[in-house]
Amino acid sequence: AGASTRSICFDDAKGGDTIYSVGADRAISIVDVENLSNKGCKKEAHRYPINVVAMYEEHMLITGDEEGYLNAWDVRSGFKTTIWNMEEHGDFVSDIKCVAERKTILVTSGDGTLTSYDPRKGKVMTMCEPMESELLSITIAKNTNIAVCGSSSGALEMFKWGVFGVPCDRFVGHPESIDTLATVDQDTICSGSMDGLVRILSIQPNKCIGVLGEHQGAVTCVRKSPNTDRVISCGDDGCLRVWDLNDDSKEEPTSSSNPPPEEDGDDDDDDDDDDDSDDDDDSDEVPAKSSRKRKKKKQKQRVETAQSQKAAKRSKAERKFFDGL
Protein backbone atom coordinates (compact mmCIF):
# COMPACT_ATOMS: atom_id res chain seq x y z
CA ALA A 1 0.00 0.00 0.00
CA GLY A 2 1.15 3.55 -0.68
CA ALA A 3 2.17 5.94 2.05
CA SER A 4 -0.46 8.31 3.42
CA THR A 5 -0.78 11.88 2.14
CA ARG A 6 -0.57 14.39 5.00
CA SER A 7 -0.81 17.78 3.31
CA ILE A 8 -1.51 19.41 -0.07
CA CYS A 9 -1.36 22.91 -1.51
CA PHE A 10 -2.26 24.58 -4.81
CA ASP A 11 0.16 26.52 -6.98
CA ASP A 12 -1.95 29.65 -7.46
CA ALA A 13 0.68 31.21 -9.75
CA LYS A 14 -0.20 28.56 -12.33
CA GLY A 15 -3.91 29.21 -12.10
CA GLY A 16 -4.40 26.63 -9.38
CA ASP A 17 -4.05 23.76 -11.84
CA THR A 18 -1.07 22.21 -10.03
CA ILE A 19 -1.13 20.47 -6.65
CA TYR A 20 1.85 19.64 -4.47
CA SER A 21 1.36 16.84 -1.95
CA VAL A 22 3.58 15.40 0.79
CA GLY A 23 3.38 12.52 3.21
CA ALA A 24 5.00 9.62 4.99
CA ASP A 25 7.02 8.57 1.92
CA ARG A 26 9.22 11.72 2.33
CA ALA A 27 8.50 12.75 -1.28
CA ILE A 28 6.97 15.84 -2.91
CA SER A 29 4.48 14.79 -5.59
CA ILE A 30 3.29 17.14 -8.36
CA VAL A 31 -0.10 16.62 -9.99
CA ASP A 32 -1.77 18.43 -12.90
CA VAL A 33 -5.37 18.86 -11.75
CA GLU A 34 -6.80 19.78 -15.14
CA ASN A 35 -5.42 16.72 -16.92
CA LEU A 36 -5.34 14.46 -13.84
CA SER A 37 -1.77 13.51 -14.60
CA ASN A 38 1.39 13.09 -12.57
CA LYS A 39 3.87 15.85 -13.45
CA GLY A 40 6.75 14.56 -11.37
CA CYS A 41 8.00 13.56 -7.94
CA LYS A 42 10.92 14.65 -5.78
CA LYS A 43 11.86 11.52 -3.85
CA GLU A 44 13.63 11.69 -0.50
CA ALA A 45 12.95 15.42 -0.22
CA HIS A 46 13.42 15.05 3.56
CA ARG A 47 15.13 12.50 5.77
CA TYR A 48 11.91 12.10 7.75
CA PRO A 49 8.19 11.86 6.86
CA ILE A 50 6.82 15.24 5.73
CA ASN A 51 3.88 16.68 7.65
CA VAL A 52 2.99 19.89 5.81
CA VAL A 53 3.52 21.81 2.56
CA ALA A 54 2.70 25.43 1.73
CA MET A 55 3.27 27.82 -1.18
CA TYR A 56 4.90 31.23 -0.73
CA GLU A 57 4.21 33.63 -3.59
CA GLU A 58 4.89 32.25 -7.07
CA HIS A 59 7.96 30.05 -6.95
CA MET A 60 8.80 29.09 -3.36
CA LEU A 61 7.50 25.88 -1.76
CA ILE A 62 7.95 25.29 1.98
CA THR A 63 7.93 21.80 3.57
CA GLY A 64 8.20 20.70 7.21
CA ASP A 65 8.75 17.23 8.65
CA GLU A 66 8.28 15.05 11.73
CA GLU A 67 11.63 15.97 13.26
CA GLY A 68 11.23 19.74 12.99
CA TYR A 69 13.20 20.36 9.78
CA LEU A 70 12.03 23.07 7.37
CA ASN A 71 13.03 23.23 3.68
CA ALA A 72 12.44 25.92 1.06
CA TRP A 73 12.37 24.96 -2.63
CA ASP A 74 12.35 26.86 -5.92
CA VAL A 75 9.76 25.05 -8.03
CA ARG A 76 11.33 26.41 -11.23
CA SER A 77 14.51 24.40 -10.61
CA GLY A 78 12.73 21.06 -10.58
CA PHE A 79 13.51 20.57 -6.87
CA LYS A 80 17.17 19.86 -7.61
CA THR A 81 18.38 21.67 -4.48
CA THR A 82 16.84 23.59 -1.59
CA ILE A 83 17.01 27.37 -1.31
CA TRP A 84 17.55 27.10 2.43
CA ASN A 85 17.12 24.65 5.33
CA MET A 86 16.28 25.33 8.95
CA GLU A 87 16.62 23.14 12.03
CA GLU A 88 15.15 25.41 14.68
CA HIS A 89 12.31 23.24 15.99
CA GLY A 90 12.68 20.75 18.80
CA ASP A 91 9.70 18.67 17.64
CA PHE A 92 7.55 18.08 14.56
CA VAL A 93 6.47 20.91 12.26
CA SER A 94 2.66 20.93 12.56
CA ASP A 95 1.53 23.76 10.27
CA ILE A 96 2.84 26.51 7.96
CA LYS A 97 1.14 29.78 7.06
CA CYS A 98 2.68 31.91 4.30
CA VAL A 99 1.71 35.59 4.54
CA ALA A 100 3.12 37.23 1.41
CA GLU A 101 1.74 40.70 2.18
CA ARG A 102 3.79 40.66 5.39
CA LYS A 103 6.79 38.96 3.75
CA THR A 104 6.66 36.35 6.50
CA ILE A 105 6.30 32.61 6.95
CA LEU A 106 4.73 31.45 10.24
CA VAL A 107 5.43 27.93 11.52
CA THR A 108 3.89 26.06 14.47
CA SER A 109 5.53 23.07 16.10
CA GLY A 110 4.97 20.26 18.55
CA ASP A 111 7.55 21.92 20.81
CA GLY A 112 4.91 24.57 21.60
CA THR A 113 6.47 27.41 19.61
CA LEU A 114 5.31 29.84 16.94
CA THR A 115 8.21 30.95 14.75
CA SER A 116 8.32 33.68 12.09
CA TYR A 117 10.79 33.37 9.20
CA ASP A 118 12.15 35.76 6.61
CA PRO A 119 11.43 33.75 3.43
CA ARG A 120 14.09 35.44 1.33
CA LYS A 121 16.98 35.07 3.78
CA GLY A 122 15.81 31.87 5.43
CA LYS A 123 16.36 33.33 8.90
CA VAL A 124 14.34 33.23 12.10
CA MET A 125 12.88 36.64 12.93
CA THR A 126 11.05 35.72 16.15
CA MET A 127 10.23 32.61 18.19
CA CYS A 128 7.81 32.61 21.09
CA GLU A 129 8.51 31.05 24.45
CA PRO A 130 7.43 27.38 24.37
CA MET A 131 3.79 26.98 25.36
CA GLU A 132 2.67 24.27 27.78
CA SER A 133 0.71 22.60 24.97
CA GLU A 134 1.70 21.63 21.44
CA LEU A 135 0.74 24.16 18.76
CA LEU A 136 -0.93 22.17 15.99
CA SER A 137 -2.48 24.64 13.54
CA ILE A 138 -2.41 28.27 12.47
CA THR A 139 -4.42 30.84 10.53
CA ILE A 140 -4.68 34.63 10.45
CA ALA A 141 -7.46 37.12 11.22
CA LYS A 142 -8.16 40.82 11.61
CA ASN A 143 -6.50 41.85 8.34
CA THR A 144 -3.37 39.83 9.18
CA ASN A 145 -3.02 41.65 12.50
CA ILE A 146 -3.68 38.50 14.54
CA ALA A 147 -2.15 35.03 14.21
CA VAL A 148 -4.42 32.35 15.71
CA CYS A 149 -2.89 29.02 16.76
CA GLY A 150 -4.75 25.85 17.73
CA SER A 151 -3.28 23.82 20.57
CA SER A 152 -3.40 20.28 21.89
CA SER A 153 -5.15 21.55 25.04
CA GLY A 154 -8.15 22.83 23.05
CA ALA A 155 -7.28 26.53 23.49
CA LEU A 156 -6.71 29.06 20.73
CA GLU A 157 -3.57 31.10 21.38
CA MET A 158 -3.58 34.52 19.68
CA PHE A 159 -0.53 36.60 18.82
CA LYS A 160 -0.46 40.24 17.76
CA TRP A 161 1.43 40.67 14.51
CA GLY A 162 5.06 41.58 15.14
CA VAL A 163 4.79 40.59 18.80
CA PHE A 164 5.13 36.84 18.57
CA GLY A 165 6.99 36.40 21.85
CA VAL A 166 3.89 35.84 24.00
CA PRO A 167 0.16 35.50 23.24
CA CYS A 168 -1.99 38.61 23.47
CA ASP A 169 -5.24 36.69 23.94
CA ARG A 170 -6.57 33.19 24.65
CA PHE A 171 -9.84 31.58 23.54
CA VAL A 172 -10.82 28.42 25.43
CA GLY A 173 -13.81 26.18 24.78
CA HIS A 174 -12.79 23.24 22.59
CA PRO A 175 -12.93 20.07 24.71
CA GLU A 176 -10.12 18.44 22.71
CA SER A 177 -7.18 19.41 20.50
CA ILE A 178 -7.62 21.86 17.60
CA ASP A 179 -5.92 20.11 14.69
CA THR A 180 -6.80 22.43 11.81
CA LEU A 181 -7.86 26.06 11.21
CA ALA A 182 -9.00 28.13 8.24
CA THR A 183 -9.86 31.81 7.77
CA VAL A 184 -13.47 32.48 6.71
CA ASP A 185 -13.20 36.28 6.75
CA GLN A 186 -11.22 38.84 8.74
CA ASP A 187 -13.40 38.39 11.84
CA THR A 188 -14.28 34.72 11.54
CA ILE A 189 -12.40 31.42 11.40
CA CYS A 190 -13.32 27.75 11.12
CA SER A 191 -11.85 25.05 13.35
CA GLY A 192 -11.61 21.27 13.14
CA SER A 193 -11.08 19.35 16.35
CA MET A 194 -10.27 15.91 17.68
CA ASP A 195 -13.89 15.70 18.92
CA GLY A 196 -15.10 15.55 15.30
CA LEU A 197 -16.88 18.92 15.20
CA VAL A 198 -16.43 21.66 12.59
CA ARG A 199 -17.02 24.99 14.33
CA ILE A 200 -17.42 28.61 13.19
CA LEU A 201 -15.72 31.05 15.58
CA SER A 202 -15.70 34.82 16.00
CA ILE A 203 -12.30 36.33 16.83
CA GLN A 204 -12.18 39.35 19.18
CA PRO A 205 -14.84 39.23 20.41
CA ASN A 206 -14.18 35.53 20.99
CA LYS A 207 -17.32 33.47 20.56
CA CYS A 208 -18.43 30.15 19.12
CA ILE A 209 -21.00 31.16 16.51
CA GLY A 210 -22.16 27.65 15.69
CA VAL A 211 -21.36 24.10 14.63
CA LEU A 212 -21.35 23.46 10.88
CA GLY A 213 -21.38 19.69 11.31
CA GLU A 214 -19.32 16.73 12.42
CA HIS A 215 -17.23 13.76 11.38
CA GLN A 216 -17.13 10.35 13.01
CA GLY A 217 -13.63 10.82 14.37
CA ALA A 218 -11.11 13.65 14.36
CA VAL A 219 -11.31 16.45 11.78
CA THR A 220 -7.95 16.49 9.99
CA CYS A 221 -8.36 19.45 7.63
CA VAL A 222 -10.72 22.40 7.01
CA ARG A 223 -10.42 24.85 4.11
CA LYS A 224 -12.57 27.78 2.98
CA SER A 225 -13.41 27.92 -0.71
CA PRO A 226 -11.93 31.16 -2.13
CA ASN A 227 -14.84 31.72 -4.53
CA THR A 228 -17.89 30.53 -2.58
CA ASP A 229 -19.37 30.57 0.93
CA ARG A 230 -18.53 26.93 1.47
CA VAL A 231 -16.16 25.13 3.82
CA ILE A 232 -14.64 21.76 2.94
CA SER A 233 -13.56 19.36 5.68
CA CYS A 234 -12.10 15.87 5.85
CA GLY A 235 -11.59 13.55 8.78
CA ASP A 236 -10.47 10.21 10.12
CA ASP A 237 -13.80 8.72 8.97
CA GLY A 238 -12.51 8.94 5.38
CA CYS A 239 -15.23 11.42 4.34
CA LEU A 240 -14.89 14.73 2.52
CA ARG A 241 -17.79 17.00 3.45
CA VAL A 242 -18.98 20.33 2.07
CA TRP A 243 -20.69 22.84 4.36
CA ASP A 244 -22.67 25.93 3.34
CA LEU A 245 -21.92 28.93 5.58
CA ASN A 246 -25.29 30.45 4.62
CA ASP A 247 -27.24 27.39 5.75
CA ASP A 248 -29.64 28.51 8.48
CA SER A 249 -29.71 24.99 9.91
CA LYS A 250 -26.31 25.44 11.63
CA GLU A 251 -26.53 24.11 15.17
CA GLU A 252 -26.23 26.58 18.02
CA PRO A 253 -23.34 25.91 20.41
CA THR A 254 -24.07 24.63 23.91
CA SER A 255 -21.93 25.26 26.99
CA SER A 256 -19.53 22.53 25.84
CA SER A 257 -19.69 23.68 22.16
CA ASN A 258 -21.51 20.46 21.30
CA PRO A 259 -24.82 20.19 19.41
CA PRO A 260 -27.89 20.45 21.68
CA PRO A 261 -29.95 17.31 22.33
CA GLU A 262 -33.09 16.62 20.34
CA GLU A 263 -36.27 17.80 22.08
CA ASP A 264 -38.05 14.58 21.18
CA GLY A 265 -35.27 12.66 22.86
CA ASP A 266 -35.96 14.46 26.14
CA ASP A 267 -39.62 13.44 26.00
CA ASP A 268 -38.58 9.87 25.29
CA ASP A 269 -36.29 9.94 28.31
CA ASP A 270 -39.24 10.84 30.52
CA ASP A 271 -41.31 8.09 28.98
CA ASP A 272 -38.53 5.57 29.40
CA ASP A 273 -38.06 6.56 33.02
CA ASP A 274 -41.79 6.05 33.57
CA ASP A 275 -41.59 2.68 31.84
CA ASP A 276 -38.70 1.62 34.00
CA SER A 277 -40.57 2.74 37.11
CA ASP A 278 -43.58 0.70 36.02
CA ASP A 279 -41.36 -2.34 35.51
CA ASP A 280 -39.98 -1.98 39.02
CA ASP A 281 -43.45 -1.58 40.50
CA ASP A 282 -44.90 -4.59 38.67
CA SER A 283 -42.91 -7.26 40.43
CA ASP A 284 -39.74 -7.86 42.41
CA GLU A 285 -39.17 -10.86 40.13
CA VAL A 286 -37.56 -8.64 37.48
CA PRO A 287 -33.94 -8.15 38.59
CA ALA A 288 -32.35 -4.67 38.54
CA LYS A 289 -29.70 -5.88 36.07
CA SER A 290 -32.37 -6.74 33.48
CA SER A 291 -33.97 -3.32 33.95
CA ARG A 292 -30.66 -1.57 33.36
CA LYS A 293 -30.07 -3.58 30.17
CA ARG A 294 -33.47 -2.55 28.81
CA LYS A 295 -32.76 1.09 29.59
CA LYS A 296 -29.36 0.96 27.88
CA LYS A 297 -30.95 -0.64 24.82
CA LYS A 298 -33.52 2.16 24.57
CA GLN A 299 -30.81 4.79 24.99
CA LYS A 300 -28.79 3.18 22.19
CA GLN A 301 -31.85 3.18 19.93
CA ARG A 302 -32.38 6.92 20.57
CA VAL A 303 -28.74 7.68 19.77
CA GLU A 304 -28.88 5.65 16.54
CA THR A 305 -32.08 7.47 15.52
CA ALA A 306 -30.48 10.88 16.14
CA GLN A 307 -27.38 9.87 14.18
CA SER A 308 -29.52 8.68 11.27
CA GLN A 309 -31.36 12.01 11.19
CA LYS A 310 -28.06 13.93 11.14
CA ALA A 311 -26.66 11.69 8.39
CA ALA A 312 -29.76 12.24 6.26
CA LYS A 313 -29.47 15.99 6.78
CA ARG A 314 -25.80 16.01 5.74
CA SER A 315 -26.54 13.85 2.70
CA LYS A 316 -29.29 16.23 1.58
CA ALA A 317 -26.96 19.23 1.91
CA GLU A 318 -24.20 17.48 -0.06
CA ARG A 319 -26.60 16.46 -2.85
CA LYS A 320 -27.84 20.04 -3.07
CA PHE A 321 -24.25 21.28 -3.45
CA PHE A 322 -23.22 18.80 -6.12
CA ASP A 323 -26.47 19.26 -8.06
CA GLY A 324 -25.58 22.94 -8.34
CA LEU A 325 -22.18 22.27 -9.96
Confidence of residue 167 (pLDDT cuts 50, 70, 90): very high
Q: What is the mean pLDDT of residues 112-132?
A: 94
At residue 55, φ and ψ (nearest 5 deg) are -105, 130
Q: What mean pLDDT do residues 85-96 have?
A: 95
What average pLDDT does the segment 281-308 reach?
50
Dist. CA 208–CA 198, nearest whole Å: 11
For 152-206, where are the E strands, in sequence order? 156-160, 169-171, 178-185, 188-193, 197-202
- pLDDT of 143 reads 94
Banded pLDDT at 314 (limits 50, 70, 90)? low
pLDDT digits (tens, 9 = 90+) for 179-227: 999 999 999 999 999 999 999 999 999 999 999 999 999 998 888 877 7
Instruction: List the beta bridge partners of residue 40.
Output: 30
- Per the rule left: phi > 0, alpha: psi between -120 and 50, beta: everything else, 30 is beta
Identify which has the larger pLDDT, 141 or 225. Answer: 141
Residue 150 has pLDDT above 60, yes or no: yes
Could you give the CA distance from residue 54 to residue 72 in angstroms, rounded to a whole number?
10
Give the DSSP per-residue string, 50-70.
EEEEEEETTTEEEEEETTS-E
CB 6 within 8 A of CB 16: no
Residue 107, H or E segment = strand 104-109
Q: Calculate mean pLDDT across residues 93-97.
A: 96
Does 28 score more than 90 pLDDT? yes
Cβ-contact 5, 53 below 8 angstroms: no
**What pLDDT, in 10s, does the model give residues 228-270?**
788 888 888 878 788 888 876 556 565 444 444 334 444 444 4
pLDDT band at 34 (very low <50, low <70, confident <90, very high): confident
The closest of 242, 233, 254, 129 to 181, measured between CA atoms, is: 233
Nearest Cα to Cα of residue 139 among 71, 226, 223: 223
